[in-house]
Structure 1
Amino acid sequence: MAVFEKIIPRKVFLDDTQVLTCIFENAQNIQGHTEYIIRVQRGPLPEKTWHIYKRYNDFVSLHNLLQISGLNFPLPPKKLIGNMEREFIAERQTGLQNYLNLILMNPILASSLPVKKFLDPENYATPFQELALQHVSMILRSEVNYEVIKPVPEIGWRLRKHYFLVKSRVNPKEEMLLSWVEHGPDKYLEDRDLHGVFKSISGLQHPYIQGIEFLNCNEVGGFVVRGLNNAGSLRDLLCTAKPKLQFMKKYGNPKQYKPLSPSDMACFGRQILEVLRFLSEKGLPFGHLHTGNIMLENGEVKLLDIENGVLGLPSYYRPYFVQHKKIQTLEAVDVYCFGHVLYEMAFGHPLHESVCDIFPSSCPPVLKSVLESILSTEACKGGLPTIAALLTHPFFNSTELAYSHHLTNPSQSDRPHLKFSSHVKEALKVARQKIEIRLKDEQKMVRHQKRLVRVQELLSNEEEKKKRKQKQKEQLQKQHQQLVSNGKSPERSESPNSTSTATSAGTVTPPSGNCLIEFSPPPPPPVPSAPSPLQSVPSAAPERTALLGSICNFNKATLRRTAATASASNLNQGCILP
């Protein structure tokens, strides 16, 4: 490196696909109003957090903006009297937390501008459409062939992508669609190399890629001019939606889903795979396949947005495949996105999960095998098939491509064509590697965060067990104190063996042999607090009671001395005579 060479730092653009999570931490009283303190986090790293302060009216405004989607999530109701009570504030805080959780679980609402602006006002309060119009007008100032007519509503899901109707001065009656988008976080091409890529893309030819009329870029973003397709995208067809309506209104809560037939799925899927293989062979990074950028013309697929990869835009399904460490290459990303597209074509509605292990019984077995090889948990853990392997699958290989005569008998105009210079090829190769490195790094962060969450759950479970044991111990101590305070000692509680113990204590078993026993005088009277042996055997028979009484009242003075007794005393010297 030269001594005086200036190092230009790469600008890091915000990744709008990173998931936002929020947790209500507290509530405070500000000038007679309740203000909720919410902690918001972007992505897996806890360092990317900030706090927002919202009142209930802010949630009402957000709720009104989201009504265009047709989804009605339960917002806690208003309360005029008693809305400052502590119990009510806690109850409302729980309801608002559940309300935001439901919104963030819906991919369409979570990616909308009202939700992003509500949770991250610092980064999303910019008037994006006005800035886009300024950049487009500035670039087209040197172009005499195109003129902007009017902006189009947000028909796409990207917040930083805006659409305008333009017309060509050569053919004023023909309307075309211009799409402008800012650079994304995966832009690793220098501006000079990006211009070279755009120049090559302008001459691209492929039967299943929609033609490009004009494209250009600057240091902020790029735009592409294409012909206007009034039929809409494949997603419009599946949701039976009008193409020019706003994104949330079209796809938030469609009234009807219209899945494709297996034959159409096999045909369109084969055509999409041919495009993916073509882009992969040419070294052009893609990874942006979804039903919103697939058009249908005369029974053929026309793929859009092939320039998204070099512009550095994040993928629509990135929040899903970033959870699986086996999806680390751009080819694997394309295959995973193709699995989601195939699922949506089969069942009409998108898959809002990263994996799927259970499919409807109506799914044909051959189609089910394709979906399982891409979307099942086992496939995402073990590895996805390649594009070439999918092209040889019976579901696609055994289908006659009735609409794909371009591949079997291509003419000069239909022959696929895309050529890059050697310098641009090397730059694209480096860019692909950097895109994959960023993906791997983010996957490591996601796995690390999941491990931390599992450890915290284990620790919380251990703490719960300790709390339960401590609570049981405190309850036992409390019961013991209550027994002591009531005059009942646990040590002196009656046991089932108390009767037998008392009986054995009041019964004398005579020894074996002929020794005369010197009976000791009767024991002193018992302490009044302790029961006597006779009283402790209330159930003894009358004869037994009389025998015990005679033993206790025995008087040795009434015994007579006999000769047998004297001789016995000589033999048994250990015995004591009366």
Structure 2
Amino acid sequence: MAIFEKQASNKVLIDDTESISCVIENWFNTNGHTEFVIRVQRGPFSDRTWRIHKRYNDFVKLHSQLQASGLPLTLPPKKIIGNMDPEFISERQQGLQKYLNSIVMNPILVSSLPARSFIDPANYCQPFRELALQHVSLALRGEVGWEVVSPLTEIGWRLRKHYYHVRSKNAPKEEFWASWIDYGPDRHLDDKDMHAVFKSLSQIQHPYIYPIELCLCTDIGALVVRTSHKNGSLRDIICGVKPKQSFLKKYGNPKGHKPLEISQIALYGRQILEVLKFLHDKALPYGHLHTGNIIIDNDRVKLLDIENGVLGVPSFYRPYFMQHKRIFSMQSIDVYCFGHTLYEMTFGAPLHESIVDSYPADCQQLLKSVLDSILSPEACKAGLPTIEDLLHHPFFSTIVLTLQPTDRAHLKIPNSTKEQLKKVTSLLEERLKEEQKMVRSQKRLVRVQEMMSSEEERKKQRSKLKQEQKMAKEKQRQKTLEEKDEKDKLNGVTNGDRAESVNSEEKDEKDKLNGVTNGDRAESVNSSSTTGTATPPSMTGGSNVPTPPPAPPLVVPPPPPPPLTNGNVTSPTLSASNERSALLSSICNFNKTKLRKTTVK
């Protein structure tokens, strides 16, 4: 390798615990079938989005794979005739959207390999099991006396963790389970320190930690061998399932939810707190406590997967404590995970929310006070108690632990490696704080967008209300005019009279706007009448008969040219003036009453 050549990363940078959202944006017909365009987003930020095209048959295949969970998933039914109708496709799109929502909102379904490979084929369509078997074979090649017998089903929730049945020549009758896991995004130890930590873990001793038979690390991941336990984990006991069944079948929709007794919860909780205190005293980061990592052996807790912290894999409850900025240290993470574990032991079912608002009425008061101090909204805002605070709580302090003479707590880590572990812990906490800041900023952005959209909606509502009011006024005006028409018809008023009345009203309105008074208008009318416009009087005096419209003003024709007399022009001024005076006087003195009446034969 060249001096300045960048070394390729040997860890998985994708966090499998990040939330996934799916939205069916559109559909189109191609080659005689319909494809749906789905926009997928990982995490809270829109820059990590991609689009996939899926047919209805792809949904059917996914549905058949998820049936092992036993959950009642509703997939839109098939249709042979009319399945290309746009109306039917739109209805199917809505049904498929509900189906996807039910998957991504369920932590068991969304963490399964069929769902992940459907949503993100670019990152989850690899042959994970075949690659893991190759890594296990290479890791065991240098270990004498160990061999792989057969792979086990996916009994755990992690997609990149695989289990195998292995055999040791030194103990041929003993059944061993080996787990292989790839390095996660929070792996910060180099190969030298990683080997030193794994050497120390192989020699760890503690009455409440499950012993490790063999642990190896390579440049890709780690292999850890432990003896199998017939009863399985604490979660298997609570759900009443068989340990060797697949994770999807065991925990998708378990038939039994058996909570523990109060005495058992207090005893197991006290033992778990003792283990967590021991790990923190040794500066070994953990953060992976849940009922699936606990073995119950002769009324004793045995903690599993204590190596996960240095391997850098994400925590099972990471999506929950990412929402609370006061949960940022490794101790607060362990306390928060302890609260979820305590809740599942108490009620027999996991808590699918980040906080708890209420409890059943039969919950024991001391136990409720412990849960409130960890999982209540006030506790998550103000800060969680420490492990020492919980050990002094009356619910746990009264428990007396019985130890055997052979029980001892031992974990020796070199000082140089311990300093590196402290740096790893600080890096884990820094990444968590940064992501929590980004989540909060994204939440604020979403709230602002909601406020803006609500303001726009209010504006639309106000505009719509104004339009409706305007339409109502127009309808009322039309109704008033129709009623007036009916009254006018009964009173014998014609359209011309109404038009004249409307014109006069409009003229009045215009005059008011222009500042013209009635007196001005009368004066204007009188002046205009004196200029030569005359209105003949009415021939009838009936009040019901409408008066005819005023006659248009007479236009006086221009005078004829002056006559020629023996080649001389007579005086035009005098003759024209006399003729005009005679005409005006005859018009003004005209009287209809003097006309002679004629009889029609």
Shorter-chain TM-score tier: 0.7 to 0.9
Percent identical residues: 57
- In structure 2, the partner of 1:28 is 28
Contact 1:21–1:104 (Cα < 8 Å) also in 2: yes
Distance 1:186 1:489, change over 3 A: farther
- Corresponding residue SS for 1:478: helix
Structure 1 residues 218-261: Cα deviation after superposition (integer angstroms, max 9, x where no partner) = 11100100111111000000000001101111111111111100
- In structure 1, the partner of 2:253 is 253
Contact 2:181–2:223 (Cα < 8 Å) also in 1: yes
Distance 1:301 1:480, change over 3 A: same
Paired AA for residue 76 in structure 1:
P
Residue ranges of structure 1 left out of the alignment (5+ in a row): 495-523, 531-578
> How many angstroms apart in 1 are the aligned matches of 2:115 and 2:369?
38
- In structure 2, the partner of 1:64 is 64
1:474 to partner: Cα distance: 2.4
Distance 1:316 1:525, change over 3 A: farther
Aligned ranges for residues 90-489 of structure 1 at < 5 Å?
Answer: 90-401=90-401, 404-406=402-404, 411=405, 413-482=406-475, 488=481
> How many angstroms apart in 1 are the aligned matches of 2:178 and 2:64?
30
1:479 to partner: Cα distance: 3.8
- Corresponding residue SS for 1:166: strand
Paired AA for residue 37 in structure 1:
V
> How many angstroms apart in 1 are the aligned matches of 2:12 and 2:379?
33
Which deviates more from structure 2 when the two are superposed, residues 451-460 or residues 78-87? 78-87
> How many angstroms apart in 1 are the aligned matches of 2:48 and 2:61?
26
Structure 1 residues 184-210: Cα deviation after superposition (integer angstroms, max 9, x where no partner) = 011011111111100111111100001
Paired AA for residue 76 in structure 2:
P
Distance 1:187 1:386, change over 3 A: same
Distance 1:528 1:156, change over 3 A: farther
Distance 1:491 1:262, change over 3 A: farther
| Displacement over 6 Å in runs of 4+ | 489-492, 524-530
Instruction: Give the paired residue count.
Output: 492
Residue ranges of structure 2 left out of the alignment (5+ in a row): 488-540, 548-601
- Corresponding residue SS for 2:358: coil
1:5 to partner: Cα distance: 6.6
Contact 1:483–1:489 (Cα < 8 Å) also in 2: no
Distance 1:141 1:488, change over 3 A: same
> How many angstroms apart in 1 are the aligned matches of 2:271 and 2:545?
105
Aligned ranges for residues 557-576 of structure 1 at < 5 Å?
Answer: none
> How many angstroms apart in 2 are the aligned matches of 1:316 and 1:247?
14
> How many angstroms apart in 1 are the aligned matches of 2:477 and 2:82?
46
- In structure 1, the partner of 2:578 is none
Paired AA for residue 398 in structure 1:
T
- Corresponding residue SS for 1:173: strand
Higher Rg: 2
Distance 1:485 1:299, change over 3 A: same
> How many angstroms apart in 2 are the aligned matches of 1:228 and 1:129?
20
1:73 aligns with 2:73: yes
Which deviates more from structure 2 when the two are superposed, residues 465-474 or residues 314-323? 465-474
Paired AA for residue 139 in structure 1:
A
Structure 1 residues 92-141: Cα deviation after superposition (integer angstroms, max 9, x where no partner) = 11111111111111111111111110100000001111100000001111
Contact 1:483–1:490 (Cα < 8 Å) also in 2: no
1:4 to partner: Cα distance: 5.8
1:55 to partner: Cα distance: 1.0
Paired AA for residue 212 in structure 1:
I
> How many angstroms apart in 2 are the aligned matches of 1:352 and 1:169?
44
Contact 2:139–2:223 (Cα < 8 Å) also in 1: no
Structure 1 residues 381-430: Cα deviation after superposition (integer angstroms, max 9, x where no partner) = 110000000000010111233xx325xxxx4x421011111110111011
> How many angstroms apart in 2 are the aligned matches of 1:446 and 1:126?
30
Paired AA for residue 423 in structure 2:
V
- Corresponding residue SS for 2:177: strand
Contact 2:342–2:371 (Cα < 8 Å) also in 1: yes
- In structure 2, the partner of 1:86 is 86
> How many angstroms apart in 1 are the aligned matches of 2:373 and 2:362?
18
- TM-score, normalised relative to structure 2: 0.79
> How many angstroms apart in 2 are the aligned matches of 1:483 and 1:261?
74
1:27 to partner: Cα distance: 1.0
